[in-house]
A and B are shown apart, each in its own frame.
Chain A
Amino acid sequence: MSESKSDLLPGTLDMLILQTLAPEPIHGYAIAQRIRAMSDDVLAVEQGSLYPALYRMERRGWLKAKWGVSETKRRAKFYHITKAGLQQLEREQSSWSTFVEAVARVMGGKAS
């Protein structure tokens, strides 16, 4: 198991979770897995830290949680994104790309 782990930038976890949840409601473990899979295992979330983030976002009304049955027939808590959550995702995406562009410009300038 040789994984190269990279720490998340603060504040990006919310965006990743929202992004993961946008297509369909899934439970916590699946969120962690997808983030890992989508980022080709580069971004490894410390799995437990996912949950305070989920709870915080539920409190803010970006997510809604509902108990359901998982693919392995177990009771599991499913999260789905709310309208407010989608709006938040949009906001974070745009500020993220601004940030990325800025960083790219700086890094690009240094390289030349």
Chain B
Amino acid sequence: MKWWPYLRLRLRSLFRPDAVAQEIEEELRLHVEMEARELIDAGWSVREARLEAARRFGNRRRIEQHCRQLYMIKRQGRADMLIQDLRYAFRTLFKNPAFTAVAVVTLALGIGANTAVFSVINTVLLRPLPYDEPEQLTVIWTNFGRDLPQNWISGPELVEIQEFSTLYQDIGMALPFTVSLTGAGEPEQISAAGVSGNFFQVLRVEPALGRGLGPDDDRPGADLAAVISDGFWRRRFGGDPDVVGQTINLDGAPYTVVGILPPGFRIFHPDAQFPADIDVWGAALPFYSGFFGGPVTYSELPRGNHGMRGFGRMNPGVTVAQAQADMDAVAVAIAEKNPGRYDFEGWGLTAYSLHGDLVEEVRSALLVLFGAVGFVLLIAVVNVANLSLARAAAREREIAVRTALGAGRGRLLRQLLTESVVLSVAGGIVGLATAFGLVRALAIFAPDDLPRRAEIGINGGVLLFTLGISLLTGLLFGLAPAIHAIKEKLVESLKEGGKGSTTGIRGRRARSGLVVAEVALALVLLVGAGLMIKSFARLMQNDPGYRTDHILTMSIDLPGSKYSGQATTSFYDRLIAQVAALPGVESVGTISHLPLSNSYYSGTTQADESETVPADERRVEADRRWVSTEYFQTMGVTLLSGRLFGEADNPDVPMVAIVDEQFVQRFWPTEEAIGKRVAISWNNDGPVWREVVGVVRHSKHYNLSTVGREQVYFPYRQQPTNSMFLSLRTAMDPLALAPAVRNEIWNLDPDQPVADIQTMEQRVGAAVSQPRFNLLLLGGFAAVALTLATVGIYGVISYSVSQRSHEIGVRMALGAETGHVVAMVLRQGFGVVAIGLGIGTAAALGLSRLMSSLLFGVSATDPVTYVLVAAGLAGVGVAACYLPARRATRVEPVHVLTSE
């Protein structure tokens, strides 16, 4: 029978029973009326015709009822059966509280862990970004070849991208920076962003109060207007709506607040330097005009000055692949329009989906974790299946009796499955409670840079997922014992008494299968966790190139309106001198871009000569840092050759530089670096050379696992920099010094904000928070898996052995030696474990490759980890065989033989 017409009618009768009944009535009435009309036409009287038509039709009411029944579901019967099954299931489960409790807890662990991890995946990977039609949004990067494949955009490039692109509705940009907020209250360093006039239109964000920024605000020389975030508005202005129209002082310049953004508005950008919570938004051009001392347009900004983050909104229906093709064409057009500027290897533009690029880095970690909890659940399923199987042995008689009394196989199967689904749904409910706790813990331990961490929670989608896996789990572990049970030979079960065929060859084979599965699953998980532990240990032992203990750091950003040139130098000179004089301070230095501080700066750097690198390749995108003389000593950066900067390196003497070992490796691997020259700027006469006076160790800047670009240091006195990180070394608790240092800063300038006060150890902690999170979760799941698997393997094997106690008793009675019998049991039991180890190792070799991107300093096929894990599990297997075998041999043979 086709199911669809049937189902359609059934559903209709279920949801619209009145309409169905009415239609049937109408149809039958019509028939009788038509017949009557025919008879009248044939000469019958009206009354007679009606009577005759009704007679010919038969009993209309009965027929109507009959028709209705054909539509209706035989609800009564099925519902009764389900209730009966449920009642029976509950009764059996309550009769075996120990079994039920163990099964529910086991399932709750598996389902709870899956629910928790899925809730993270659901929020981070699956839920669309909170913008209007977010799938249309892309980020746009420039590609400057091998050294700089993901670069920001410069003003002229933005204009050209807007001009040449064809598949975008609009392309805007935002440029984050920090400003000092002064005026009423404590000076504060806040995060701000300059945006193009169309930026909020690209994102389609309307302010909650006042107006947004528009193209009119983004003209050279326009009035300084700012839009502020809801959070900043509440924190700084107590949510006062009159703030709109007032002015605030940012870096000394008066901005009029024109609007307040809606609560919950955040910027999601893959760039770690782009804070999600920006307090103040202003149009970029008026700001630039102030910076350059006159009106300036995007096209007039320096082409080599990249800092703008491109946000584009594609036309409806355009795919990211099509947008990429569009950007490829734009890149060609830009290169043609600017001959000589972009004719290098690799130039291009990249369009990524905003959401995709945002979660790029965490995706693989989350998927690995999801796989891991999937394995935990599978192990839980195997454990419960095994428990059910053992119980099925005890129930064989019950089932045989029920069959003999006439229960059909379908009916029995349904009843057994009802039982396991009731069990798994109970596990799901307890698991959900577990998941609530786990999710809270996840949100706390999740790394700060996990996108949308604050949104993680259990919602409808997650609940649906939990329900789904609960039902699936129930079917999965219920099916094996159920099929097993109904396949039983009825007569044999009745005849054999309590010892049916679950103890026979087939039952043993089923249980061996479970042991193999359990060992294999546990091995894969433990290998994953083992690799993670080893990787994390390597990461923590890894020398970053500077010391991280007893160092206090903070960010100071002098406003350009107040400080420049000599004023900047003298501020920092005095600050360093005063902080150095504080009791407990051993050494003080400053650097423009501190390692692990999420501040980066790089630019094209040229080397003047090289034995190994041809003249036209002596350029590299290198990190640039401006430092005070004491910086290297304070941070413990090792000098490899030459000298460090000194007091003499001032603006009056030739400019100097210090390069890192990687720079030397790149350009001068065979020659003396000291005395060579590098350039980071050019004037009409060509490169402005700076002499290399020293070589230092490479400092890991972006995180602890990746080696970054080549690094070049310059003395800040030769090129004063307003934005600096202060770092100081002390023998005391570094944070205890923070108030004193802040006071020294405020002694120099009471309006100067201080931000980002952290010890170097805290920065390291934040930098490894992602791997630590992975380790914590994977390790936790592996521990749960190991416990479950140990209990499971032991349970299965000891059950098998105890089933053989009769045979062992006979062997002992016939004079077999204890050691001999134990060895036999061990051999057979361990054979099964070994198969599991083999399959697990093969699976782990295949699967661990997927997590190789998460590993540092250890290969995904690290033999030590594999051997250790396999040996550990083999030990569990041996113990699981040995203990019950030992016990069996100690039983008095006579006792065993007479017990039957």
> Known: A59-B5, A61-B1. Contact between A51 and B28, CB under 8 A?
yes
- Are the C-beta atoms of A29 and B31 separated by less than 8 Å? yes
Contact with A28, one of B27, B59, B70 (Cβ below 8 angstroms): B27
Q: Does B843 contact A (CB under 8 A)?
A: no
Stretch from A72-80, A92-100, A101-109 at the B interface: A72-80
* A67-B37 Cα distance, complex, nearest whole Å: 21
Q: Does B497 contact A (CB under 8 A)?
A: no
* A 35-84 contacts with B by CB, 8 A: 46-49, 51-52, 55-56, 58-61, 64, 67, 70, 72, 74-77, 84
- Are the C-beta atoms of A59 and B6 separated by less than 8 Å? yes
* A60-B63 Cα distance, complex, nearest whole Å: 19
- Are the C-beta atoms of A75 and B28 separated by less than 8 Å? no
Q: How far is the CB of A13 from chain B (nearest CB, A)?
A: 14
Question: Binary interface profile of B, 43-72, with partner A (CB < 8 Å = 1, else 0)?
Answer: 000000000000011111001001100110
Q: Does B543 contact A (CB under 8 A)?
A: no
* A27-B30 Cα distance, complex, nearest whole Å: 10
- Are the C-beta atoms of B27 and A77 separated by less than 8 Å? yes
- Are the C-beta atoms of B67 and A52 separated by less than 8 Å? yes
Q: Does A32 contact B (CB under 8 A)?
A: yes
- Are the C-beta atoms of A60 and B30 separated by less than 8 Å? no
Q: How far is the CB of A29 from chain B (nearest CB, A)?
A: 4
- Are the C-beta atoms of A48 and B9 separated by less than 8 Å? no
* A76-B34 Cα distance, complex, nearest whole Å: 11
- Are the C-beta atoms of B57 and A58 separated by less than 8 Å? no
Q: Does B4 contact A (CB under 8 A)?
A: yes
On chain B, the residues within 8 Å of A77 by CB distance are 23, 27
**Nearest B-chain residue to A77, judged by Cβ:** B27
- Are the C-beta atoms of B63 and A76 separated by less than 8 Å? no
> Known: A29-B35, A47-B57. Contact between A52 and B5, CB under 8 A?
no
- Are the C-beta atoms of A48 and B27 separated by less than 8 Å? no
- Are the C-beta atoms of A46 and B58 separated by less than 8 Å? yes
Q: How far is the CB of B231 from chain A (nearest CB, A)?
A: 60
On chain B, the residues within 8 Å of A32 by CB distance are 31
* A32-B71 Cα distance, complex, nearest whole Å: 22
**Nearest A-chain residue to B37, judged by Cβ:** A72
On chain A, the residues within 8 Å of B562 by CB distance are none
**Nearest B-chain residue to A47, judged by Cβ:** B57
* A59-B4 Cα distance, complex, nearest whole Å: 9
> Known: A32-B31, A55-B71, A74-B30. Contact between A48 and B60, CB under 8 A?
yes
On chain A, the residues within 8 Å of B57 by CB distance are 46-48
Q: Does B2 contact A (CB under 8 A)?
A: yes
* A69-B23 Cα distance, complex, nearest whole Å: 14
- Are the C-beta atoms of B63 and A61 separated by less than 8 Å? no
Contact with A49, one of B24, B63, B71 (Cβ below 8 angstroms): B63
- Are the C-beta atoms of A60 and B27 separated by less than 8 Å? no
- Are the C-beta atoms of B70 and A55 separated by less than 8 Å? yes
* A100-B60 Cα distance, complex, nearest whole Å: 34
> Known: A29-B31, A77-B23. Contact between A60 and B60, CB under 8 A?
no
- Are the C-beta atoms of A56 and B31 separated by less than 8 Å? no
* A54-B27 Cα distance, complex, nearest whole Å: 12
* A90-B2 Cα distance, complex, nearest whole Å: 17
Q: How far is the CB of B351 from chain A (nearest CB, A)?
A: 49
> Known: A47-B57, A52-B67. Contact between A60 and B31, CB under 8 A?
no
On chain A, the residues within 8 Å of B4 by CB distance are 61
Give how many B residues have a beta carbon under 8 Å from the other chain's beta carbons: 26
Q: How far is the CB of B229 from chain A (nearest CB, A)?
A: 59
* A12-B60 Cα distance, complex, nearest whole Å: 22
On chain A, the residues within 8 Å of B67 by CB distance are 51-52, 55
- Are the C-beta atoms of A48 and B58 separated by less than 8 Å? yes
Candidate in B23, B31, B66, B70 with the most chain A CB atoms within 10 angstroms: B31
**Nearest A-chain residue to B34, judged by Cβ:** A29
* A37-B789 Cα distance, complex, nearest whole Å: 77
**Nearest B-chain residue to A55, judged by Cβ:** B70
On chain B, the residues within 8 Å of A49 by CB distance are 58, 63
- Are the C-beta atoms of A60 and B1 separated by less than 8 Å? yes
* A56-B58 Cα distance, complex, nearest whole Å: 18
Q: How far is the CB of A85 from chain B (nearest CB, A)?
A: 11
On chain B, the residues within 8 Å of A74 by CB distance are 30
* A52-B26 Cα distance, complex, nearest whole Å: 14
On chain B, the residues within 8 Å of A48 by CB distance are 28, 57-60, 63
- Are the C-beta atoms of B5 and A47 separated by less than 8 Å? no
On chain A, the residues within 8 Å of B34 by CB distance are 29, 72
On chain B, the residues within 8 Å of A84 by CB distance are 2
On chain A, the residues within 8 Å of B6 by CB distance are 59-61
- Are the C-beta atoms of A60 and B2 separated by less than 8 Å? yes
**Nearest B-chain residue to A67, judged by Cβ:** B23
On chain B, the residues within 8 Å of A76 by CB distance are 27, 30
Q: How far is the CB of B863 from chain A (nearest CB, A)?
A: 62
* B 1-47 contacts with A by CB, 8 A: 1-2, 4-6, 9, 23-24, 26-28, 30-31, 34-35, 37
Q: How far is the CB of A47 from chain B (nearest CB, A)?
A: 5
Q: How far is the CB of B203 from chain A (nearest CB, A)?
A: 50
**Nearest A-chain residue to B23, judged by Cβ:** A77
- Are the C-beta atoms of B2 and A56 separated by less than 8 Å? no
On chain A, the residues within 8 Å of B30 by CB distance are 27-29, 70, 74-76
> Known: A76-B30, A84-B2. Contact between A47 and B58, CB under 8 A?
yes
**Nearest B-chain residue to A49, judged by Cβ:** B58
On chain A, the residues within 8 Å of B35 by CB distance are 29, 47
* A26-B57 Cα distance, complex, nearest whole Å: 18
- Are the C-beta atoms of A60 and B70 separated by less than 8 Å? no
* A 4-33 contacts with B by CB, 8 A: 27-29, 32
> Known: A64-B5, A84-B2. Contact between A51 and B27, CB under 8 A?
yes
* A93-B659 Cα distance, complex, nearest whole Å: 96
On chain A, the residues within 8 Å of B27 by CB distance are 28, 51, 76-77
* A75-B2 Cα distance, complex, nearest whole Å: 29
On chain A, the residues within 8 Å of B37 by CB distance are 72
**Nearest B-chain residue to A48, judged by Cβ:** B58
On chain B, the residues within 8 Å of A75 by CB distance are 26, 30
**Nearest B-chain residue to A54, judged by Cβ:** B67
Contact with A52, one of B31, B60, B66 (Cβ below 8 angstroms): B66
Q: How far is the CB of A55 from chain B (nearest CB, A)?
A: 4
On chain A, the residues within 8 Å of B56 by CB distance are 46-47
Contacts from A to B (Cβ < 8 Å): 27-29, 32, 46-49, 51-52, 55-56, 58-61, 64, 67, 70, 72, 74-77, 84
Contacts from B to A (Cβ < 8 Å): 1-2, 4-6, 9, 23-24, 26-28, 30-31, 34-35, 37, 56-60, 63, 66-67, 70-71
Given contacts A58-B9, A70-B30, 4 further A-B contacts (CB under 8 A): A29-B34, A47-B56, A59-B6, A60-B6
Q: List 22 A-B contacts (CB under 8 A).
A: A27-B30, A28-B30, A28-B31, A46-B57, A47-B35, A47-B57, A48-B28, A48-B57, A48-B60, A48-B63, A51-B28, A51-B66, A51-B67, A52-B66, A55-B67, A60-B1, A60-B2, A61-B2, A61-B6, A72-B34, A72-B37, A76-B27
Query: Nearest 10 A-B pairs (CB), nearest first?
Result: A48-B58, A61-B2, A61-B5, A48-B63, A55-B70, A29-B34, A48-B57, A29-B31, A52-B66, A47-B57
